[in-house]
């Protein structure tokens, strides 16, 4: 059979959760998931893997364990989507048609968008938790001092706080290893602040000052020379005099022209550029022009496609003005499943609305975490129950326990089974 009532592209966090929730609502709905990978990864723990605080093997499980019962698993790649005739093509198993489509393939790493990054990642002093957290841990263990640079691209990325999480952990590791006095810990970001939500930024700014972390804003990486161990940034603030004033010759910064800054590194951790998969970027379901070009065009509250009313999208691939996290998906999935189910049964959407909730468990050390929860427009949205007993804007040991033990349990045993 090549026709299904509902086809879900993507068997990651978003796709599995929506399928499980739909199945709980109605066991008779014909659902198929298109997902090529036979392994499922709990990527939020990769930050801890990169710091030696979590076993990589514990983040990997068999995909088949989490495909809901009676949902057809098509082990294949989606190749293209033809929304005008409610069909899609796969790489190996041909064409499928649908009544309703949920698009949740996630995003892809695109290191090729940053000149020199692919070659630099082959070196033993350049790493990324987004690609290989085990390598990050090896590099930390072999680091001898010098410039340890942590940075991120100008593209949207999954878990925008991850580049600074590993930086905090590395800084503590350097202290414990007796290397801190001969190490410059540098966090360079294209952004304007350490974190967009003021209540949490206040705590993080204090941490940066207290731990003597060198914080560079408006620093957009534009190329890497792995042989010279050198990264070049473009200073993207219009105040070029400020750029010159804040230059630190003591860490080897050099200004070239009016906006390019070169910096030597002894260790470099980078979030690679990221974007929507090619078949999404080339499809009519994506936004053709503008700042959200290539991402999927959805209503930010209903998660229904703005032009194709039988299509929904959620997760990293959706053009939503909030952080791309698993926590965001936990709030998005009930909206998609309820609205889709109501559309199937009544022809109208349900009243469920997604308000932009996302969460960034900001690990700030080996036993400390700030639980940053927020919604659209960078408005704090902390859990009202937790907030009554714990100040989540501060570093807490209890939140570290939540990150290391509570959230993985919730993910595997509740979220992917449609229970949370």
- The full DSSP string for 160-190 is TTHHHHHHHHHHHHHHHTT-GGGEEEEEE-S
Is 243 one of the annotated active-site residues of the chain? no
In angstroms, rounded to a whole number, what is the distance separating the alpha carbons of residues 54 and 169? 13
Nearest of 200, 209, 176, 214 to residue 396 by alpha carbon: 200
In angstroms, rounded to a whole number, what is the distance separating the alpha carbons of residues 56 and 295? 30
Catalytic residue from among 127, 296, 329, 360: 360
In angstroms, rounded to a whole number, what is the distance separating the alpha carbons of residues 396 and 406? 14
Is 127 one of the annotated active-site residues of the chain? no
Q: Which helix (H) or strand (E) holds 98?
A: strand 95-103
Catalytic residue from among 126, 159, 369, 407: 159
- The full DSSP string for 29-54 is S-EEEE---SEEE-GGGHHHHHTTSS
Nearest of 49, 31, 149 to residue 99 by alpha carbon: 31
**Is residue 186 a contact partner of residue 149, using CB atoms and an 8 Å limit?**
yes
- Provide the Cα torsion 44, 47, 49, 50; round to 10°: 150
DSSP H helices, 85-191, are 117-120, 133-142, 162-176
In angstroms, rounded to a whole number, what is the distance separating the alpha carbons of residues 403 and 368? 10
Active site residues: 159, 360
């Amino acid at each position: 059979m090549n026709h299904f009532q509902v086809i879900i592209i993507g068997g990651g966090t978003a796709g599995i959760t929506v399928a499980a929730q739909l199945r709980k609502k109605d066991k008779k709905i014909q659902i198929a998931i298109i997902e090529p990978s036979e392994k499922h990864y709990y990527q939020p723990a990769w930050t801890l893997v990169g710091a030696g605080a979590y076993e990589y093997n514990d983040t990997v499980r068999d995909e088949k364990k989490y495909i809901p019962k009676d949902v057809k698993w098509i082990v294949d790649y989606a190749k293209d989507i033809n929304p005008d005739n409610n069909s899609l093509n796969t790489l190996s198993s041909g064409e499928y048609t649908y009544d309703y489509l949920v698009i949740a393939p996630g995003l892809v790493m695109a290191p090729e968008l940053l000149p020199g990054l692919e070659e630099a990642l082959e070196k033993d002093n350049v790493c990324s938790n987004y690609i290989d957290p085990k390598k990050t841990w090896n590099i930390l263990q072999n680091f001898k001092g010098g410039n340890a640079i942590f940075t991120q691209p100008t593209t949207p990325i999954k878990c925008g706080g991850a580049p600074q999480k590993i930086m905090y952990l590395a800084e503590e590791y350097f202290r414990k290893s007796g290397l801190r006095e001969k190490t410059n810990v540098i966090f360079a970001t294209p952004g304007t602040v350490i974190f967009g939500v003021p209540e949490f930024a206040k705590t993080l700014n204090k941490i940066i000052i207290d731990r003597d972390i060198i914080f560079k804003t408006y620093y957009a990486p534009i190329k890497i020379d792995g042989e010279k161990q050198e990264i070049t940034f473009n200073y993207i603030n219009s105040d070029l005099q400020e750029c010159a004033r804040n230059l630190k010759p003591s860490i080897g910064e050099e200004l070239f022209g009016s906006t390019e800054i070169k910096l030597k590194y002894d260790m470099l951790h980078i979030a690679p550029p990221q974007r929507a998969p090619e078949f999404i970027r080339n499809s009519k379901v994506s936004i053709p022009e503008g700042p959200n070009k290539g991402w999927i065009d959805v209503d930010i509250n209903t998660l229904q496609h703005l032009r194709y009313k039988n299509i929904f999208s959620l997760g990293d691939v959706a053009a939503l003005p909030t952080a791309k996290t698993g926590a965001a998906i936990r709030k998005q999935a009930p909206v998609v499943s309820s609205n889709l189910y109501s559309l199937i049964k009544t022809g109208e959407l349900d009243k469920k609305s997604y308000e932009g909730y996302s969460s960034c468990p900001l690990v700030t050390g080996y036993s400390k975490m700030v639980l940053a929860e927020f919604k659209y427009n960078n408005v704090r949205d902390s859990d009202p129950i937790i907030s009554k007993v714990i100040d989540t804007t501060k570093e807490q040991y209890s939140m570290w326990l939540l990150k290391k033990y509570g959230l993985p349990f919730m993910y595997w045993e509740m979220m992917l089974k449609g229970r949370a």
